[in-house]
Each structure stands twice: as structure tokens, then as C-alpha cells.
Amino acid sequence: MFSIILKHATKYLTGSVIAAGTSLIMMKYYTAVFSPAQFGILALYLVLFKYVMTFASLNLDSGSTRFYFDYRATKRDEYLSTIFWIITFISSIVLIIGLGLMDFVSNWIEPNSQMIYFITICTGIFGVYVSFLTRVLYNEHKSTSVLKHTIFQTFINHASSVLFISVFHFGIFGRISGQGLGYLLNVFTLIKEFSEENLFRLKLTFNKAMAKETFLLTLPSMIASIQGIAFIYLDRIFIKHYMGDSAVGIYTLGYMLGQGLSMVYEAISQSILPKVFNDMNENYEKGRDDLEHFSYRYYLGLVIITMIISALSPIIVSMFSNDNYKEAAGVMPFVMAGFMMGGFYKIPSLVLGFHKKVWFYPFLAFFSFGTNALLNWWLIPIYGIVGAAFASFMGLFLYSVVMQVLSFKYMNKKYNVLIGIEYIGIFIFVLIVFSKGVF
């Protein structure tokens, strides 16, 4: 397993580091050209982008992975074509509804920002197709291709944004347009590669049986994704309501800096998923034991990275912004702790996904991220943006701990005991830090 991770995760991580690193470097530029209030408006449009991608894909891009390996050898093109047409149909509905809500939503975010809204909706649609095609590359272990497309999209995204902002003075519209151009051009480069490498040839076919089994398997995760996206980003909405656009901008900076941890576990997760499924199909107990042995090092690594970067959060914020955003340093540690828990649940999600145990996702999402939303409503008026960050941690912690408990029936007793102790220790430590106001 470690050889597979080393071979592919290194490239996935390199792409993530380049994308995240570029974003961090550019953060210095964006926080210089945008005031905290403008950055807050931009942040709300980035939230809208996430909403569009979630509703337009309904998690089918990643949810179809389990069946992909069943049809890979004989009916890959037919299966992927079926998923493609489903996504296209759903995206069309989202686009129509989004255009119908344009005036209402855009004026709430910022009066007379309809063009920014329109570009954001289109970018979300482009993002769905990029995610769908990239997922195939992950499944085929095309890590070099993933790296290439990540670098290309990152360059177009930020280079065009700087051009639109500094030369044409388009402001927030220029930043959103740069992101949209990056996704749009990446769609075309992906299509070109898929055609040349014969990775997927689109057919005018729709297999109802394939669609039905995929829909039934992914329905729980679809509902969970929708609930998650609806609840998770309520923090920005509550902050705007209680504290204004400037607070949204400061909080979002801290959130984005803390979110950088996710690039580590996402790269590892994408590299081991096909390996885990294949190994467990061939020799279940050996595949499970290998995954457990890997997980101990994986969890420990995430904890060490989180603690080091949390301690350096004031320095990091000063490096990538200015004094107007210094309060973001109080947000970073709790956001990072939350994303660390997100990294933890990648292991049980692989195990549960292999056993096709997905029924619980809607209930878990409602419980954990609903608690996140409730804590935002309660804590933001009292603790401000730090309260929102702690609420974010709690939502991901609850989601992660339930996932682990549900997977315990498939794991060895040693794993269950060690992970249980680790979760308890993390919760107590973060709660003490928050109550003492260390950050």
C-alpha cells in the first residue's frame, strides 16, 4: 500500500500544494486590493459557487466510483455516459433555478451584482464537469494527468484574475471571472486528453439499470452532501447578519488558511481508494489490516501538522495578508482541528463504502452539521468569528466520530480502542483551548 501511496499521492499532493500554495501567495494580493468588506462579499460568492457545484452534481461524480470498478473492464463508456447525462440534466435544472433567483440572491449579497452572480453560477456548472472527468483520472491512477490539469487550471485562474483586476479594474467580478475561465478551459483540456487516451468516449445512451443502482447507492450521500453544504456555510451567513461583510472577510481568510490541511488528506485518500477496494476484493482481511497499519501513521501525521501550523497561525496570517485581517489568527487553529477530523474520517468512509453501508449519511449530516449551524447561531453573537470556527470544528468532529464508530464492527479491537482514546483526547484538548481563549 505504501508504494502505491508514495507513487500517486506524491503527485496528488504536489498538485494540491501548488494550487493551495498559489492561492496562499495570491491571498496577499487579494487582501491588498480588496478591503475586508469586499473580501467578505467575494467570500459569499465563493460560498454560492460551492452550493451550485453540490446541487448540480448531487455527489454523483464521486458517488459513482464504487460501480465504476464493476463496469470498468466491459461497459465503462456506457456507464460513464449514463452518469454524464444525469449530471447534465441536473445541471440544467440548477442553472434555470439559479437564474430565476438571480435578483433576490445577488442583491442580498451585494446590490447590483447580477453579473458576478451569473458568472458564479456558470463557474459552478463548469466545476461539476471538471470534477466528473478528474474522478475518472483518479480511478485510473492517472496521477500525472491530475497534476498537469491542476497546474493548468491554477495558472489560468489566478493569472487571468490579476489581469482582470489590475489592468481592467473589474474588482470582484474580475476575480470570479478568472476562476470561471480556469474551470472552462480545463474542461476543454480534459476532453482533449480523454479523446486522445481513449479514457472515455461519450455515447448517446442511457442505461436505466445503471442509473438506478447508482442513484440508490449514492442517494444517502447525495442528501448528506446537500445537508452538509446547506449547514456548513451558514457561518458566513450568520456572520454577515450579526457582524457585517468585514467580519465575513476576516473569518473567510482564517478559514481558507486553515483549510490548507485538507490538501494532505485529500491527496492520500484519492491515491489509496482504488488500492483499498481492489485489495479487499482479493483478500479482505489482509487489505483491512494493511489499511489499519497505515491509518496509525496517517492519524499521527495529521495531529502533528495541525499542532505545528496552529501554533504558527499569527505568523501565517501576517505573511499572507495585512493588519486589517489579523483577527483571522484566532480562527485558524479551530478550523484546522475541524479539517483534521475531516481527514480522520477518510479511513472509515473507505471501509463503509466498500461494504456499501451508506444509509446513515443523511441522518449523520443532519445531526452533525445541524449542530454546527445551531452552534453558529448561539456562539457567533457571544464569541464572534472564533465562535464560528469552534462550531465548524464541532460539526466535523461529530461527523467523524460517528463514522468511526459505525466502522468499528469491521475493524480489529486494537484499532477501535486506540482511535477511541485519540478522539476523546482531541475533544478535551480543543474544548479547553476554546474555553480558555488561548487563541
Distance CA 387, CA 346 (A): 26
Residue-wise pLDDT for 77-116, tens only, equals 999 999 999 999 999 999 999 999 999 999 999 999 999 9
**For residue 101, how many other CB atoms are within 10 A of its CB?**
11
Model confidence at 171: pLDDT above 90: yes
| Gap between the Cα atoms of 283 and 259, Å rounded | 36
Mean pLDDT, range 348-357, rounded to an integer: 84
What's the whole-number average pLDDT of the chain? 88
Rounded to two decimals, what is the model's pTM?
0.80
Task: Examine the pLDDT at 2 and tell me if it is beyond 50.
Answer: no
CA 166 – CA 171 distance, rounded (Å):
8
Q: How confident is the model at residue 334 (pLDDT cuts 50, 70, 90)?
A: very high
pLDDT at 148 over 70: yes
What pLDDT does 206 receive? 94
How far, rounded to the nearest angstrom, does the alpha carbon of residue 44 sit from its chain's CA centroid? 16
Count of other CB atoms within 10 angstroms of residue 99: 12
* Whole-number pLDDT of residue 184: 97
Q: How far apart are CA 201 and CA 412, in angstroms?
A: 43
Give the pLDDT confidence of 202-251 residue by residue, as tens digits.
999 999 999 998 888 788 777 877 777 777 788 999 999 999 999 999 99
Q: What is the mean pLDDT of residues 389-400?
A: 95
- Could you tell me the pLDDT band of residue 388, with boundaries at 50, 70 and 90? very high
Three-class HEC string of 162-208: HHHHHHCCCCHHHHHHHHHHHHHHHHHHHHHHHHHHCCCCCCCCCCH
pLDDT, residue 182, reads 97
* Per-residue pLDDT tens digits for 46-57: 999 999 998 998
Using only C-alpha atoms, what is the Rg of the chain? 21
The count of C-alpha atoms lying within 13 angstroms of the C-alpha of 189, restricted to the half-sphere facing its C-beta, is 18
**Phi, psi at residue 52, to the nearest 5°?**
-65, -45
